[in-house]
Amino acid sequence: MPVSVDWNELLHAFEFASFGQPGEHEALLCRKTGKFLWQTDVEEDIEAWPDDADDEEKYLSIPHKKELDLGKPLVFEFARQILPDEYDEIRRMFDKRGAYARFKDLLQRKNALDRWYDFENKATETALRDWSEVNGITIEPAAGPASEPDRR
């Protein structure tokens, strides 16, 4: 049964589920109502978590960014495309803890931080829209200036 959701709400749920390590924060989409539910093991539940949350006919688990290859694989793809001369250095960075901080420092030095954020945002949107389509989710256009008709 297809469900329709607001793009901004889906993105917010995805960002919540992707915060920290996989499993630390969870978000579900109720297939019947289109409402999102939230849970974290860091603090008390934000909302009542249903006992049948694992029933895939009723609920759809919002993926963590790592499930959509939006972690290290995306960094390496960015390096291949945008900073090929830095690729080996970036690969080595991710062999140790604290890699994202070092990566962002490098991007700052190379004046490429904005390009990274654009690249990451586009990849996230594409992956999340593809995931939604596979799971029978219809995304309503985001409200605001981006969804207003072109008035040329």
Same domain, 18 and 46: yes
**41 and 80 belong to one structural domain:** no
The number of beta carbons lying within 10 Å of the beta carbon of residue 17 is 25
Q: Are residues 17 and 47 in the same domain?
A: yes
Q: Residue 79: give the domain boundaries.
A: 72-118
Per-residue pLDDT of the chain (152 residues; tens, 9 = 90+): 678 999 999 999 999 999 988 888 999 999 988 999 988 876 655 556 778 888 888 999 999 999 999 999 999 999 999 999 999 999 999 999 999 999 999 999 999 999 999 999 999 999 999 999 999 999 987 654 444 433 33
- 3-state SS, 74-95, equals HHHHHHHHHCHHHHHHHHHHCC
- Please report the pLDDT score of residue 43 as a whole number: 61
- State the total domains in the chain: 2
Verify that 44 and 18 share a domain, yes or no.
Answer: yes
Quick one: pLDDT at residue 73? 94
* 55 and 78, same domain (yes or no): no
13 and 57 in one domain? yes
26 lies in the same domain as 56:
yes
Burial class (CB in 10 A: 0-12, 13-18, 19+), 130: exposed
CA torsion sign for 112, 114, 115, 119 is positive
Does 12 share its domain with 57?
yes
Amino acid 146: pLDDT: 45
pLDDT of 143 reads: 55
Q: What is the pLDDT of residue 35?
A: 92
The amino acid at residue 120 is E
The pLDDT of residue 150? 38
